[in-house]
Chains A and B, each alone.
Chain A
Amino acid sequence: MVQVSSMKEDAVTSGHGSGGRLTQKLTERILSRFETEGFEMEDCAFLDKGGNDADIAVTMDGFTVSPQDFPGGDIGKLAVCGSSNDLAVRGVEPRWLTLSLIIEEGLEFSLLDRYMESAARTAKEGNIRLIAGDTKVVPHGMADKIFIAACAMGKKMSSRTLQTSNLRQGDVLILSTSPGRHGAALAAARFNIAAPGLTSDCALLWPSLKPLMALDGLRCMRDCTRGGLGTVLCEWAEGASLGVELVETNLPANRETNAICDILGFDPLYLASEGCAVVAVAPEQAEGCLDLLRQNSISRDAAVIGRIVADHPRMVGMKTRIGGMRCVDMPVGEILPRIC
């Protein structure tokens, strides 16, 4: 008899927080306990019309980033952007915000003030109002300085619902900026690697996505947070039972992100972005969509990166720089730097 001593799944590991396959399993496990019928559980949920003309949408997100200060932002800005972007990609204008702060005893007021000022500034920029909140202080060692949970709400600004099931064969995929900048900036900070010029892409997406609401060929959008672009596309392929074909040479690239990835053995496809959206649009409106995106500075580098295909359903393939084909799978477990 062969004795198998593999790593059993008897406890939550840090890999369950990576955004890839393990995170999918974790959320399925939690959701299976609940009655979720009628909600498609994509980024945000739409509530009944509350007497208004538009649907109200709501989403919830937790932020436990380390380090809390990173080039291009901090945990305060991230909480506002991250939660609002989940609305923006579904065609919802972010309007209201609630914050729950879990603060570790000993956090300097100067830090707390700075994060909250940063959150407030970002909210103001996006015309988002704080409408409720909560604070808890936990003993030293029970949190990492500060954890923030953010609930964002807004109004749906498109008559259609943008969702994975809209995807059709032939749809064009557009990426709004180079992938993985947030993850690379954090990795550089965490592993003490000098990366001059590398900043997180952390930004509010709504201003750049709002003009796309005019396109009736707009199918579906997603922000590439944990698990990165690769994970989003795998979820789309699986969700729509269609294939995705990427063209490596079309992907917008960032030199500093690539340098960090080379050092640590990461693939930018799987690193988190916090101000980068992937957009699926009908082929005849791809050019128009690209033009609209490029008018905004955060999506100036937008590019067509591939399309939805009927071949290899549920799989993401990538045509490589040298003309080969390879499979892009969802990452498994925490992304860890390699040895050599």
Chain B
Amino acid sequence: MPESDLKAPREGPANIEALRGKLSEYLECAGRPLTFMEVCGTHTVAIFRSGLRSLLPEGLRVLSGPGCPVCVTDQSEIDMALSLAKRDCVVLTYGDMLRVPGSSGSLLKMKGEGAAVEVVTSAIQSMEIARKNPEREVVFLGVGFETTAPATAVTLQQARRNGLDNFSVLCLHKTVPAALSALCSNPDLRIDGFILPGHVTVVTGLDEYAFLTKKLRRAAAVAGFEPEEILACMTDLARQVAERDFRLSVWRLKDVPIEGNPAARRILSEVFEPCDARWRGLGVIAGSGCRIAEPYGEFDAVRKFGLDPAEDVVDNGCRCGEVLSGLISPPECELFGRVCTPLAPVGPCMVSSEGTCGAWYRYHQ
């Protein structure tokens, strides 16, 4: 664990003032404006909700990255889910996926028209629903990153153990490090530092992010979701740049085991295998998706229902891809706030409570 003169924050406003002072100092030392990216949607909301944005010094730009699972779900993936609902399957999903528009409406719209679409809060719950409704085909939408993927994997293990034949998973899980690596390879992008999500690293461990600091010489630090933690993380990112001392650090009130969770990783590698995945707006990123591995093939909705994930996608003018890679901020999208609002979202960034466009619209007026 790298040493630095900052201590993990434990107090309220007094600490905030001290951290703001330090952040400004390091910014000055860096001698130029800096751009940081918060990778995770929960960070995006925490930053807006806590009013942290209003406290950041000039010369610091904070962008939201591709870490909101709803935002990065591709239109073609939603279309597969819609086609399952059309086939009379019971489609079970985490809440905010309901509103994401596919090329012909959303799951919420289909639910309004009578399709069997229900919200669940856990993957295991979806298996219980399958067990109670043996006469129906029940499909769970596996979405999210390393935080939700282990729960889907465990559910698949149990489904196999229980010999459930009316249950399957449409697996749309993605992995965060692969996306960051893709972002960094874009020469147009000038991101000086990454605020990494604490709950993802609890599973992956820190090693997966070492390429950012070691190979790419970018600042990177892990933060929890308290505003003090996020501010301390930003301060350390500025320090890393100012001192050209790129070392991953962790800013959490609770400790993150640096090795992550090996048991969760073992389950992930047993149930899933890496595949190329399509990210909304970012295109296909090699090795960034999770496909259900052969021994669990019977539970793969894509195989079971012969779904075609590679359908052509209508261009609706949404610039989520540029928003997610920090090339533009939401108001720079010509649809923002006019055609595209939380009432009538065009792109997923506006749908999710954690999406960048939605958060801008809600908190940044």
Contacts and interface: CB of A to CB of B under 8 A. Distances in A.
Interface of A: 2-9, 11-15, 21-22, 25, 191-193, 263-265, 267, 315, 318-327, 329, 332-334, 336-340
Contact of A333 (B17, B45, B339, B342): B342
A5 B314 contact: yes
B224 interface: no
B364 interface: yes
A192 B346 contact: no
Interface in B158-212: 199
A336 B344 contact: no
Interface string B266-295: 000000000000000000000000000000
A5 B53 CA distance: 32
A322 B346 contact: no
A5 B48 contact: no
Contact of B228 (A2, A265, A322, A337): A322
B343 A327 contact: no
B112 A337 contact: no
B4 interface: no
B16 A339 contact: no
Interface of B: 12-13, 16-17, 41-42, 45, 48-55, 69-70, 94-99, 101, 103-106, 108-109, 111-113, 119-121, 125, 143-145, 147-148, 199, 227-228, 231, 314-317, 335, 339-346, 352-354, 361-365
Given A320-B50, A322-B52, A323-B55, A4 B98 contact: no
Given A193-B121, A337-B94, A337-B119, A4 B317 contact: yes
A4 B108 contact: no
Contacts of B228: 322
15 contacts: A6-B345, A7-B101, A7-B108, A14-B111, A267-B49, A321-B12, A324-B51, A324-B52, A325-B54, A326-B51, A326-B53, A333-B342, A339-B143, A340-B69, A340-B147
Which has the most chain A C-beta neighbours within 10 Å: B54, B143, B148, B335? B54
Interface of A is mostly: loop
Contact of A3 (B17, B316, B361): B316
A339 B94 contact: yes
A248 to B, nearest CB: 8
Given A315-B365, A329-B363, A340-B199, A5 B103 contact: yes
Contacts of B227: 320-322, 324
B148 A340 contact: yes
Give the one of B53, B105, B113, B362 with max A CB within 10 A: B362
Nearest to A318: B51
A267 B104 CA distance: 31
Contacts of B365: 315, 327, 329
Contacts of A326: 48-51, 53-54, 363
Nearest to B339: A4
A132 B199 CA distance: 56
Interface core residue of B120, B315, B342 (most chain A CB under 10 Å):
B342
Contacts of A193: 121
A4 B350 CA distance: 14
B121 A4 contact: no
B336 to A, nearest CB: 12
Given A322-B55, A336-B98, A339-B148, A6 B346 contact: yes
In the complex, the 9 A-B pairs of residues with the closest C-beta atoms, listed nearest first:
A324-B51, A336-B95, A320-B51, A2-B317, A332-B342, A337-B95, A326-B51, A340-B147, A339-B94
User: Which of A21, A263, A323, A325 gathers most chain B CB within 10 Å?
Assistant: A323
A325 B52 CA distance: 8
Given A14-B111, A193-B121, A322-B55, 6 more contacts: A5-B316, A192-B121, A322-B16, A323-B55, A332-B341, A339-B96
Which of B52, B70, B353 is packed against the most chain A CB atoms within 10 Å? Answer: B353
Contacts of A333: 99, 342-343
Contact of B364 (A7, A9, A327): A327
A7 B314 contact: no
A322 to B, nearest CB: 5
A265 B353 contact: yes
Contacts of A336: 95-96, 98-99, 119, 353
A11 B114 CA distance: 12
B12 A322 contact: yes
Given A324-B52, A340-B199, A6 B339 contact: yes
